[in-house]
Amino acid sequence: QVQLVESGGGLVQAGGSLRPSCAASGRTFSSYNMGWFRQAPGKEREFVTAIRRSGGSTYGSDSMKGRFTISRDNAKNTVSLQMNSLKPEDTAVYYCAATYGTIWRPSSMDYWGKGTLVTVSS
């Protein structure tokens, strides 16, 4: 079993940057594909980005690919999300998730963190 704890959210002005991180417990972190999702008020949870065991990454949209970068450190059991050029529409709770699979739907994730709030002011 894996426990995930996010940190690093906060309030930032439009155009700014944040780097939320997710710390995972357990000795099998390197076995999981790791992802980030987000959920804005009144909206469904949305796929942001993911990084596979091998290190390859995928993004939920071209806009995210150009502004967000996911990385992982298997020695430290962490996965991070560097977010640049933030926009007010990026405001959401950001969730870390883990899965053995490669289908990036909320229903396909095996483990979830509790989320960290990112607020982007205009």
The pLDDT of residue 27 is 73
**49-106 pLDDT, tens digit each:** 999 998 888 888 888 888 999 999 999 999 999 999 999 999 999 999 999 998 999 9
Cα–Cα distance between 89 and 97 in angstroms, integer? 21
Mean pLDDT confidence for 16-23: 98
pLDDT band at 9 (very low <50, low <70, confident <90, very high): very high
How is residue 101 annotated by DSSP? S
Average pLDDT over residues 35-56: 94
For 75: left if phi > 0, alpha if psi spans -120 to 50, otherwise beta; the answer is alpha
pLDDT at position 15 is 97
